[in-house]
Amino acid sequence: MIAALVSLSTFFSTLFGGLFALRHSKRLHLIMGFTAGVLVGLVAFDLLPEIFAQVHEQNINSVLPMLALVGGFLLFHIAEKSMLIHRGDTEEYTDHKHPTVGLLSALALSGHSFLDGVGIGLGFQVNAAVGVVVAIAVVAHDFSDGLNTVTLMLVNRNTRRRAFTLLLVDAAAPVLGALSTLLFTIPAAWLPIYLGFFAGFLLYIGASDILPEAHSERSTPTTLLLTVLGATFAFLVTRFV
């Protein structure tokens, strides 16, 4: 139960990030530039180093998590494009923004947030110190998770009310994940594969969705700078937290 109580801090961190995006939706292209940098930075400075560490510790084939990474990237790409092709709307396919795309993206991020909570719970199963360290790391980047959820919803033409609803889902997910560890555990051997799959997903939505959208209407030096600052923020969080 201590893990569940600690995970409540992630709820407020995620919620604050999403509310920030809702309040400043008229400057969404600037937020998206920053968000894209954060996503790519998290892959490079957090997920990939953790994958390499797990591969070394568990002495498993490094090809497996890399296959999961490519699979995550391609699976989301195929799912997104197949959905739009089946709509039979050429104009919509060219401009691939659609509410369902945003919904799928936000739900995928909520799934990751759920597993963040699982990570907190499993950390506390080791000992309290490990659990607290994992919780601090999750809280530090859950602000970006909330921001990403709202951004993906709004940029894909969802209403602000629907974006807020998905924000609440994302904010609650880590708490539910922490509670779930009272019932089961995840085998350590699966962790690198999960991390690889999610890294592929983040690369896709960061580089193929959010970053192009940030520059779709106007590409400015400020947007470029914010992308660099987003990657720098991810680097600082992963190094010092």
Report which secondary-structure segment, H or E, holds 93. helix 90-94
**Exposed, middle or buried, 30 (CB in 10 Å: 0-12/13-18/19+)?**
middle
> Rounded CA gap, 202 and 199, in Å?
5
Averaged pLDDT score across all residues of the chain? 81
**Confidence band of 207 (pLDDT split at 50, 70, 90):** confident
- So what's the pLDDT on residue 90? 41
C-alpha 35: how far from chain center: 10
Element (H, E) at 162: helix 160-180
Q: What is the pLDDT of residues 137-173, one digit of tens each?
A: 677 667 777 887 888 888 888 889 999 999 999 999 9
User: Over the stretch 167-206, which tens digit does the pLDDT of each residue have?
Assistant: 999 999 999 999 998 887 767 778 788 778 878 887 887 8
Q: Which of 21-30, 39-48, 158-167, 222-231 has the weakest average pLDDT?
A: 21-30
Query: What CA–CA distances, in Å, run from 87 to 92, 108, 158, 240?
Result: 8, 22, 17, 46
pLDDT of residue 63: 93
Residues contacting 76, CB < 8 A, separation 6+: 108, 200, 201, 204, 205
Please check the confidence at residue 91 and state whether its pLDDT lies above 50: no
pLDDT digits (tens, 9 = 90+) for 37-59: 888 888 888 888 888 888 888 88
pLDDT at 46: 80
Determine the pLDDT at residue 94. 42
Short-list 186, 233, 187, 191, CA closest to 52:
191
What pLDDT was estimated at residue 191? 77
User: Over 80: is that where the pLDDT of 217 sits?
Assistant: no
Q: Name the more confident of 85 and 153.
A: 153
Give residue 39's Cα distance to chain centre.
7
